[in-house]
Structure 1
Amino acid sequence: MREVCVIGGNRYFGKRVIARLIAAGDRVTVINRGSSAPPPGVIHLVADRDDEKSLEGVLGPRTFDVVIDQVCYTPRQAEIARRVFAGRTRRYVMTSTVEVYGYEDSAALVPEDAVDPRTVAVDLELPWDDPEFLDAHYGEGKRQAEAVFAAAGPAFPYVTVRVAHVLGGGDDFTGRLDHYTDRIRTGEPIAVPAVNHPATYIHVEEIADFLTWTAGAEFTGPVNAASHGTLTTEELCAAVAVHLPEGRTVFRSADAGDVSPFSFTRSYGMDNSRATKLGFTFGDVSNWLPRAVTETLRKAG
């Protein structure tokens, strides 16, 4: 039986990861601030991950085979986690994001070495506690958090899972696919940039599978998690429109700051070949997209 710690993770694909770990026979400890109860069958510890003494206090002498950090958004949080969990775990898995490639613009799919966290500058003095600043610098916060873990060297074995845009599930709380559903139903124009680039995606169940698989693997460093294939905004909308024959899909050109959620002014889709070579089998986005749309429509209906 493995000892697995999950930090956060009560929502969306995090709760699916916990369910998979329990089903595999792992003993799971969930740490959160107590705002939501974890699923049955886990050990629940209440702590503020931003408070180092609080985190150390609830952990006591506990050690883990692997820690899965679902809610590390800033280098400050990463610094605390690195100090607290050094010597407590054989493996640390941080959920990162495709947004770490926010400075890229590549027609080819982007591999992990396009952003080497060992070369990313860390600035702990930026206003990371300001929600507006953090929201506007989400990708940069993740980049710098990755850099903190990378700086620890071999003594702190870590993985950062760079997650593609996630779709699917009746519990998708982001509202991003709903954005298109609502506009197609009403005929309200959908804002896209003049040159609209495709992106990589992953289904909510697939990213839960991938994180669970990663927890039991041995590799370290950054890894991209994305289904095969890309989608444009137009393809997403076409998949929605099939279910809304009474609707109307209208696009309008807009400035970069005013575009719809899955519209992109640059190309930075992710290359998933590292994970594939390590042994994970991704699905194809075209195969699961109809399912993801159906789930969203069922939720909205």
Structure 2
Amino acid sequence: MKKVLVLGGTRFFGKRLVELLLQDQDSEVTILTRGLTEDSFGEHVTRLAADRTDEAALEQAVGDTVWDIVYDNICYTPDEAAAAVRIWAGRAKRYILTSSLSVYDPQPEALAETDFDPWHYPLKSGGKTDISYQEGKRQAEAVLLQTADFPVAAVRFPIVLGTDDYTRRLHFHIEHVLAGRPVGIPNPQAEISFIRSDEAADFLHWLGREGSAVTGPVNACSDGTLTIGGVISIIEQITGRTAIVQSEAAETDQSPFGIGASWFMDTAKARSAGFSFLSLSEWFTELVSSLTHSLRQDQ
């Protein structure tokens, strides 16, 4: 039996990943969280409780078990990555880090994995209060890929969307349009990548099984892009309301998608390894429609 550990598996795409793993008859699934969020997995998983930022507690929780796969959805800093390198030295056969599109700076062309090179990025220490989210993810990749004695894949996801998105980023736009509130968008023509939460889970699951030869950074997003203005147009069509778009707005009205320049990824590496991504155009409008219906019922 494969021993699989998931750090951060009680909500959003982490929860969906655990649900997929539980369908694998050859896997024993363990989840590690702080123990603050209930889950619906019953007796089908083993649970470990520890604060990810407490290295001693984390090491005690995972013990001496040798894990076939460690999925790390909650590593945000070089200090956390360095702790993982120490804790799982000789104890992980494969390590899959959830990284981010944020490691890249925006550019007009599709971003390939080579546009940020974690193998030659200067290492530094730091926690969440010391560095930005972007730098934290860059450093997490760099520390793991440069110093770990186990194979590492770093999955670069864009913004993940779904009915289960606890950050409610797409919800924000629909709610603002329905309420007639302004939405701050500095560049409506900027293109962006997205991935749906179930697709993100599918990719992580595939990477741990069929994609086991993939190491290093790998981009993962739905096929196609949308402009931020295009997102708003779809919301207008579904809601029947006209959006109030402003180049500048109060912080509470600033779009979570309000990027100043295009920011989207090329997925040739993952596709050449055998993964087929969903088409963004086929699911985005359906998701907006589903969320709009739900939000209107809540009003």
Q: Which amino acid aligns with 1:231?
A: L
In structure 2, distance between residues paired with 1:212 and 1:61: 24
**Is the aligned partner of 1:212 residue 2:205?**
yes
From 74, 80, 83, the counterpart of 2:83? 80
Aligned partner of residue 270 in structure 1, secondary structure: coil
CA contact (8 A) 1:12 1:173 kept: yes
**Is the aligned partner of 1:161 residue 2:155?**
yes
Q: Which amino acid aligns with 1:3?
A: K
From 267, 271, 289, the counterpart of 1:276? 271
Aligned partner of residue 22 in structure 2, secondary structure: helix
Equivalent residues in 2 for 1:179-190 (5 A)?
Answer: 179-190=172-183
The alignment of Structure 1 onto Structure 2 pairs a total of residues equal to 290
Instruction: Look up the match of 1:21.
Output: 21
The one-character-per-residue Cα deviations of 1:124-183 (angstroms, maximum 9, x if unpaired) are 1x4x243xx56xx11110100001001126x320010000111122x2211211221122
* Cα root mean square deviation, aligned: 1.9
CA contact (8 A) 1:168 1:293 kept: no
1:48 CA displacement: 1.8
In structure 1, distance between residues paired with 2:59 and 2:259: 41
C-alpha change, 1:149 and 1:121, in structure 2 (3 Å) is same
Instruction: Look up the match of 1:253.
Output: 247
CA contact (8 A) 1:196 1:264 kept: no
The one-character-per-residue Cα deviations of 1:106-139 (angstroms, maximum 9, x if unpaired) are 2210100110101222221x4x243xx56xx111
The one-character-per-residue Cα deviations of 1:55-95 (angstroms, maximum 9, x if unpaired) are 22122221111000010000000000111011111100000
Equivalent residues in 2 for 1:101-140 (5 A)?
Answer: 101=104, 104-124=105-125, 126=126, 128-130=127-129, 137-140=132-135
1:10 CA displacement: 1.0
In structure 2, distance between residues paired with 1:177 and 1:105: 21
**Is the aligned partner of 1:56 residue 2:41?**
no
CA contact (8 A) 2:78 2:140 kept: yes
Instruction: Look up the match of 2:226.
Output: 231
Q: Which amino acid aligns with 2:10?
A: N
**Is the aligned partner of 1:150 residue 2:113?**
no
- Identical counterparts, % of pairs: 37
**TM-score, normalised relative to structure 2:** 0.91
The one-character-per-residue Cα deviations of 1:265-299 (angstroms, maximum 9, x if unpaired) are 12231111100000000011000102221332244
**Is the aligned partner of 1:67 residue 2:39?**
no
In structure 2, distance between residues paired with 1:70 and 1:129: 15
**Is the aligned partner of 1:293 residue 2:288?**
yes
Q: Which amino acid aligns with 2:177?
A: I
Q: Which amino acid aligns with 1:13?
A: F
Aligned partner of residue 172 in structure 2, secondary structure: helix
1:194 CA displacement: 4.6
CA contact (8 A) 2:106 2:263 kept: yes
The one-character-per-residue Cα deviations of 1:15-44 (angstroms, maximum 9, x if unpaired) are 000000001222101111111234221000
Aligned partner of residue 263 in structure 2, secondary structure: coil
Moved more, 49-58 or 222-231: 49-58
In structure 1, distance between residues paired with 2:263 and 2:194: 12
Instruction: Look up the match of 1:45.
Output: 48
Q: Which amino acid aligns with 2:37?
A: S
**Is the aligned partner of 1:221 residue 2:216?**
yes
Q: Which amino acid aligns with 1:61?
A: D
Aligned partner of residue 218 in structure 2, secondary structure: strand
**TM-score, normalised relative to structure 1:** 0.91
Q: Which amino acid aligns with 1:193?
A: P
CA contact (8 A) 1:73 1:142 kept: yes
Aligned partner of residue 23 in structure 1, secondary structure: coil
CA contact (8 A) 1:192 1:260 kept: yes
Aligned partner of residue 254 in structure 1, secondary structure: coil
Aligned partner of residue 238 in structure 2, secondary structure: coil
Show structure 2 runs of 5+ residues with no match: none
CA contact (8 A) 1:203 1:292 kept: no
In structure 2, distance between residues paired with 1:256 and 1:210: 37
In structure 2, distance between residues paired with 1:252 and 1:108: 26
Show structure 1 runs of 5+ residues with no match: none
1:261 CA displacement: 1.1
